[in-house]
Amino acid sequence: MMKLNANQLNFSGGPGALPESVLQQLQTAMLCVPEVGLSILGISHRSQWFAQVVHELEDNIRQLMGLPDTTRVLMMQGGATQQFSMLPMNLLRDGQSADYIHSGYWSGKAIHEAEKSGKLNLAWSGKADQFSRLPSDAELQLSKDAAYFHYISNETVEGLQFHRVPGRDDVPRICDMSSDLLSAPGEFNRYAMIYAHAQKNIGPAGVTLVILRDDFMQTLPKDLPGFINYHAQADAHSIYNTPPVFAIYSVLLVTRWLLHDIGGLHNIAKHNELKAACLYQVLDDYADFYRGRAAIADRSNMNVVFNLPNAEIEQAFLQAAQQAGFSGLNGHRSIGGIRASIYNGLEIAAADQLADFMQTFYKRYKISTPQTSGLSTAYA
């Protein structure tokens, strides 16, 4: 089996692994961007070079997603968390209400922030099912008069992912795609707005992509303070204030990798599906031991979330995994368990290696049952 380094065995939920070739380019840029002669950390955001970086990145996003030139592409700060607040501040005016799906931890955060700005209609909640599944279209309670409809395409904590586009086409559809944007093709033209922080599939923390359909952009208010005003941000081409130059340049390199090395979103989707399939196969083959959280139809291709028979065995698994070179497998602090995040930058070989480790761990556990003491060293 091919020897993988620590970066290549990083299954962290975010920031996630970046492609090895991108890391190598960033290593060079830290000392000197070839076409500039300066470190990326010292290049002015007002330079002509950086303006070209922003322009190319905007074009690359449109090309990858199949969007028209009129689509606004912004590189903002504050992560998805700022968008949780900024979005309703711009749209929930004059007593209007918005429809939200509550499908897990992060959509709950979005709802909590939006409620501070206006009225919400809970179109569906998975709380009663402990966020183990997503709704069918028939379960959604949607309003044709909503100011907008909001959902999260992939819940990283619970390992749930929408594999269709929910919502009404006659109501502005807004989606937080922080953890699966650019991981597969999609019907992106059906969205009025998409936002995604970078630190899963598309770059390091510090930059958030906000993609706005032009006709929707024209409906947004212009009288808000500049930092939370989409018009002001768009007019400044993402340089309203000092932007995170390093993070934006990193995202540019990732889009170049997707376009030229991978060959577009159809190809990266095949990679991601293979990674997910090999891990879910282990969950299905050893379902008495590896207990997946998500309903099969709603399983995420980005985050494989599961539990083991008890907390002691989970700790043994994590310790043995760390000794074997894997990192980032701890489940989210809100639910515990195990989570393998398999974002774009993670290679297929890494998922295969984790699947092999999981099978070996299971077989050794069965041999040692019912003895559970010393598990943390037994599987190293």
In the chain, the domains with their CATH numbers are 22-262 (3.40.640.10), 264-378 (3.90.1150.10)
Residue 99: band (very low, low, confident or very high) from pLDDT cuts 50, 70, 90: very high
CB 158 within 8 A of CB 293: yes
- Cα–Cα–Cα angle for 287, 288, 294, rounded to 5 degrees: 45
pTM of the model: 0.94
Burial of 187 (0-12, 13-18, 19+ CB in 10 A): exposed
pLDDT digits 0-9 by tens, 238-263: 898 999 999 999 999 999 999 999 99
Q: Are strands 160-161 and 173-176 parallel, antiparallel or unpaired?
A: unpaired
Q: Which of 176, 180, 257, 298 is catalytic?
A: 176
* CA dist., res. 208 & res. 199, Å (int): 9
Which of the residues 99, 106, 257, 298 is marked catalytic? 106
Which pLDDT score is estimated for 314? 96
Q: Cα dihedral angle (43, 45, 47, 48), rounded to 10 degrees?
A: 120
What is the C-alpha to C-alpha distance for residues 103 and 154, in angstroms, rounded to an integer?
9
Mean pLDDT of 291-317: 97
pLDDT at 377 over 60: no
Given a cut of 90, is residue 12 above it in pLDDT?
Answer: yes
Write b or e for each residue in 166-181: b if 16 or more Cβ atoms lie within 10 A of its Cβ, otherwise e: bbeeebbbbbbbbbbb
Does 369 have pLDDT greater than 80? no
For position 366, what pLDDT does the model report? 79
Averaged pLDDT for residues 347-362:
97
- pLDDT at residue 294 in the model: 97
Q: What percent of the chain has pLDDT over 90?
A: 88
pLDDT at 47 over 90: yes
- Provide φ and ψ at 124, rounded to 5°: -175, 150
pLDDT value at residue 2: 66
Q: How confident is the model at residue 1 (pLDDT cuts 50, 70, 90)?
A: low
Tokens of 10: 């990083």
Supply φ then ψ for residue 379, to 5 degrees: -110, 15
What rounded mean pLDDT belongs to the chain? 94
- Please tell me which residue in 99, 124, 180, 200 is annotated as part of the active site: 200
- Bigger pLDDT: 335 or 60? 60
Q: Is the pLDDT of residue 378 over 60?
A: no
b/e 287-302 (16+ beta carbons within 10 angstroms → b):
eebbebbbeeebbbbb
197/210 Cα distance (integer angstroms): 9
Give dist(CA 284, CA 52) in Å, integer: 48
Amino acid of residue 323: Q
> Which residues, 6 or more positions from 114, have their beta carbon under 8 angstroms from its beta carbon?
84, 85, 87, 88, 92, 98, 100, 120, 150
pLDDT at 370: 55
In terms of Cβ atoms closer than 10 Å to its own Cβ (0-12, 13-18, 19+), residue 70 is exposed
pLDDT of residue 373: 42
Region 4-27 average pLDDT = 93
- Residue 134 predicted with pLDDT over 70: yes
> Is 176 annotated in the active site?
yes
Let me know if 124 is a catalytic residue.
no
Is 363 one of the catalytic residues?
Answer: no
pLDDT of residue 72: 97
Residue 380 has pLDDT above 90, yes or no: no
